[in-house]
Amino acid sequence: MTDLPRHMSVEAFRLAGYATIDWIADYYERIESLPVQPKIEPGEIYSRLPDEPPLEGEAFSAILADLDRVILPGLMHWQSPNFFGYFPANASAPSILGDVVSSGIGVQGMLWQTSPACTELESRVLDWLVEMLNLPGKFKISTGCGGGVIHDTASSATLCALLAARERASGYTAREHGIKNDLVAYCSEEAHSSMEKAMSIAGLGSHKLRKIPTDQKLAMSPSLLTEAIGRDRAVGLKPFFVCGTVGTTSSLAIDPIEEIGQVCGRHKLWLHVDAAMIGTAALCPEFRYVHAGLEFADSYCFNPHKWMLTNFDCDCFYVADREPLNRALSVMPEYLRNEVTEKGTAIDYRDWQIPLGRRFRALKLWFVIRSYGVLGLQAFVRQHVAWAEKFECWINDDPAFELVMPRSLNLLCFRRLGSDDDNRALLQRLNQDGQVFLTHTVIDGRYCLRLCIAQTNTEFRHIERAWQLIQEVADQ
Amino acid sequence: MTDLPRHMSVEAFRLAGYATIDWIADYYERIESLPVQPKIEPGEIYSRLPDEPPLEGEAFSAILADLDRVILPGLMHWQSPNFFGYFPANASAPSILGDVVSSGIGVQGMLWQTSPACTELESRVLDWLVEMLNLPGKFKISTGCGGGVIHDTASSATLCALLAARERASGYTAREHGIKNDLVAYCSEEAHSSMEKAMSIAGLGSHKLRKIPTDQKLAMSPSLLTEAIGRDRAVGLKPFFVCGTVGTTSSLAIDPIEEIGQVCGRHKLWLHVDAAMIGTAALCPEFRYVHAGLEFADSYCFNPHKWMLTNFDCDCFYVADREPLNRALSVMPEYLRNEVTEKGTAIDYRDWQIPLGRRFRALKLWFVIRSYGVLGLQAFVRQHVAWAEKFECWINDDPAFELVMPRSLNLLCFRRLGSDDDNRALLQRLNQDGQVFLTHTVIDGRYCLRLCIAQTNTEFRHIERAWQLIQEVADQ
């Protein structure tokens, strides 16, 4: 029959679903043995796929089989216990299954009206996280004029923070009348590239982003920030936004948010704090120093999809006052009008983000928090920091290696004594071998290896093995 | 033990996974009997959830049970066969399972390097869609300087199109130096609200978006477009961008892309075509008229997550030339540098979108196309249009009702003879009853009911029942 679409019956879905779960379970059973980085040339996977789409539908088993045949050889295995690159994008069993439910029920949470539970579970879980990380109470949706929302990534959160600040700084005219070319923003030299991208997108231009020099710890210098603001004011520009980073991508450096916050307070600048990677550390009271000064922030974000066992994508974005954000981003076409929105008695998360539509992402976060409990999540973070401490000792004890920066939480930036090229070659050999995957960074002009201990499936033995491999390959 | 995180074993994941699949299958078995729109007040779901997150982890079964107890009563059932509101957000079994694989393997596709298969499957599937919809060949990544990418929503695609056009119009200076306040864009009065939002985000201001009046078919008037461009030029403004809509949200009106394209050609304006809902219709040769003139477009998008059986989120965005897009959006921090990117031998989709990170969304699209085949997808679209034709006849045959606009493909805008308030009350009673869900729009100042036939699980009997209910409730 070609004149009726061939939908899978519910019973067939059940069986295909079990097979898919089995495929994932089998993948996790062998993931440790797979080379973390694929050995593949550009174009190889593309050319293994047929030129033409199939005319007739195919059996589900054929598609699953092609996952092994075509897709797996072209994957970097982010969930491998031997993955220490970039920052992780942690999945976990409860998170995967929460996401499965989201895909399954397929609701659209653009308005409260279009699925109240999608909005209200999100508000509740984000309120829980305020408690769990001991964030300032002003970020709770239930108690004030602020609140939290789930974004895809910290890039989007940073952009929205910038747009909210731009709206406020323009006296709420930018949205309708556009911007004047006089607004200036600030971050450190080590801040994430998304800050530059956000400045471009917002029409302000990346050149109006002042990258403030950092101290020896690669943290923003508040006095140089103050000077830069003064210079800009003196030539008639209008400083309006500072992005403080808590855990830079390169080295997990931590900007002094309290002092930066005081500068922002004096100059009436919006302070956004980007804690994408290490916000999660604040689950543990002993690591809450990372958030010192956060009471000064107008907005804040961190990514459960990095270190909190929640699969990509899931960034939690908070504002102290939702009005500038909503005024910067709200739209109300006729076909979306509804009583609840007009009464203003509920949150419409559409007005908190760039896109209109939204997935039910709160489910996976809810599944994770309930499955692990606060204590389980704390234990997860603690063990990584403890292992990173061990690793730090190993580096210090080996005269052939040096730490380029003191360890920050679970990240190590180190190098073999020798040239940049030696270290570049070392990294390449390590990653080509496939038993381990690390990335690099450049600190003070020196190329170094960068090892982040945060993957869900990593155990202590993987850390030991990684160090052993690094030493072996360096000796060759 | 509270000092170790309690990860689920692979075997436990397998069982919890089966249970989750069963929960979804059971949900689909009863979905038809659930009221489509929940009966719930703002705050009800939030207050049913505990104030505090759990300290200790909970059993997976307890969480699944709470889906029924807490979440289900607060859902709008977008996958119900009785859902005719807004546009659908279609899921299907293969799509759900493709998404499950994506959640399960948890790779990050920001760069080719970070998972080559994630990038290359996406390029291949988007090339397939160029053939399947008979789009201009310039949108194929394999044959020219253009190409396609998956975005979350058409809102994001439209924003990126606008940013690429802004970059080109500014002589490639906007990204670094910001914008001058002189750029003007155009769309019809009926275009999607995301166009206004994109203008605000880009710093151009929603007032610099000219909403061109439409004709009786609610399609943009090319002559009024030309006049508006002339007026703006005359006062020293710089027209740069037109968004043509193929299938407006309110009534599926179709702008005359060919004539608009000629205007754009004459004035060197970027033409973006938003076919979010009805791009999918072009699967069928008999409906390809919707894309007439598309060869004039610089960029184009449609949403498989609306009418092509692919669960939210999945928008396909194409550009004829990727250079302006990439130049508007690329960043290259040190820690992302890699050989392949530097050689430029592969696509890095990071430079095609707002966020940095990206999910492996191509999997679900691949699963859908392979499971249904081109013929199956065509049949899916055809049956909806055929049913909408029937529905149109029923409305025409009932003297108590009138069509407010001629049917466009699978959308009907109609009203009961009587006042706007009568129709508003009719819609409210219908939706409160829960057996069916429709939304409204306003056309030529008249309130009308809006019924979109596109849900995956809808059969002809649901259409018949919906019409019967509408008649019954109207008679009460």
The per-residue pLDDT for range B294-349, each reduced to its tens digit, is: 999 999 999 999 999 999 999 999 999 999 999 999 988 887 888 888 888 899 99
Model confidence at A61, pLDDT cuts 50, 70, 90, reads: very high
Q: Is the pLDDT of residue A6 over 90?
A: no
Å between B105 CA and nearest CA of chain A: 7
Phi, psi of B212 (to 5 degrees): -75, 135
Q: Which residues pair with A446 in a beta bridge?
A: A443
Contact B132 A196 (CB under 8 A): no
Å between A473 CA and nearest CA of chain B: 20
Model confidence at A225, pLDDT cuts 50, 70, 90, reads: very high
Mutate to test the interface with B, among A1, A39, A40, A75 (most CBs of B within 10 A): A75
The average pLDDT across B410-420 equals: 97
Closest CA to B149 of B122, B169, B174: B122
Tokens of B403: 């069509």
The average pLDDT across A254-276 equals: 98
Are B414 and B402 in contact by the 8 Å Cβ rule? The answer is yes
Residue A336: per-residue pLDDT: 82
Contact A380 B108 (CB under 8 A): no
Question: Which residue is closest to A129 within chain B, CA to CA?
Answer: B53
Question: Which residue is closest to B72 within chain A, CA to CA?
Answer: A117
Provide the mean pLDDT of chain B. Answer: 96
Q: Which residues of A touch B363 (CB under 8 A)?
A: 71
How many CB pairs lie under 8 A apart between chains A and B?
A: 539
Contact A204 B203 (CB under 8 A): yes
Model confidence at A269, pLDDT cuts 50, 70, 90, reads: very high
Residues 253-292 of A with CB under 8 A from B: none
Residue B6: per-residue pLDDT: 82
Residue A3: per-residue pLDDT: 60
Phi-psi region of B171 (alpha: psi -120 to 50; beta: other; left: phi over 0): left
Tokens 């002042």 appear where? A210
Contact A205 B94 (CB under 8 A): no
Residues 357-396 of B with CB under 8 A from A: 357-359, 363, 366-367, 369-377, 379-380, 382-383
First to last CA, chain B: 63
Residue B2: per-residue pLDDT: 43
Residue B4: per-residue pLDDT: 64
Determine which of A135-144, A236-245, B19-28 has the lowest per-residue pLDDT on average: A135-144
Mutate to test the interface with A, among B11, B21, B342 (most CBs of A within 10 A): B21
Does B475 lie at the interface with A, CB-CB under 8 angstroms? no
Question: Which residue is closest to A340 within chain B, CA to CA?
Answer: B42
More confidently predicted of B467 and B343: B467
Q: Is the pLDDT of residue B174 over 50?
A: yes
Provide the mean pLDDT of chain A. Answer: 96
Q: Is the pLDDT of residue A70 over 70?
A: yes
Phi, psi of B452 (to 5 degrees): -110, 120
How would you write chain B as a 3-class SS string? CCCCCCCCCHHHHHHHHHHHHHHHHHHHHHHHHCCCCCCCCCCHHHHHCCCCCCCCCCCHHHHHHHHHHHHHHHCCCCCCCCECCCCCCCCCHHHHHHHHHHHHHCCCCCCCCCCHHHHHHHHHHHHHHHHHCCCCHHHCCCCCCCEEEEECCHHHHHHHHHHHHHHHHCCCCHHHHCCCCCEEEEEECCCCHHHHHHHHHCCCCHHHEEEECECCCCCECHHHHHHHHHHHHHCCCEEEEEEEEECCCCCCCECCHHHHHHHHHHHCCEEEEECCCHHHHHHCHHHHHHHCCHHHCCEEEECHHHHCCCCCCCEEEEECCHHHHHHHHCCCCHHHCCHHHHHCCCCCHHHHCCCCCCCCCHHHHHHHHHHHHHHHHHHHHHHHHHHHHHHHHHHHHCCCEEECCCCECCEEEEEECCCHHHHHHHHHHHHHHCCCECEEEEECCEEEEEEECCCCCCCHHHHHHHHHHHHHHHHC
Q: Nearest by CB to A112, which of B42, B203, B354?
A: B42
Q: Which residues of B touch A2 (CB under 8 A)?
A: 375-376, 379
Determine which of A51-65, A204-218, A340-354, B302-316 has the lowest per-residue pLDDT on average: A340-354
Residue B1: per-residue pLDDT: 38
Contact B193 A367 (CB under 8 A): no
Q: Is the pLDDT of residue A2 over 60?
A: no
pLDDT digits (tens, 9 = 90+) for A360-415: 999 999 999 999 999 999 999 999 999 999 999 999 999 999 999 999 999 999 99
Contact B104 A24 (CB under 8 A): yes
Q: Is the pLDDT of residue A178 over 90?
A: yes
Å between A144 CA and nearest CA of chain B: 15
Q: Nearest by CB to A123, which of B46, B203, B328?
A: B46
Question: Which residue is closest to B195 within chain A, CA to CA?
Answer: A331
Residue A120: per-residue pLDDT: 97
Are B364 and A106 in contact by the 8 Å Cβ rule? The answer is no
pLDDT digits (tens, 9 = 90+) for B349-382: 999 999 999 999 999 999 999 999 999 999 999 9
Residues 90-149 of B with CB under 8 A from A: 90-97, 99-101, 103-108, 112-118, 120-121, 123-124, 128-129, 131-132, 142
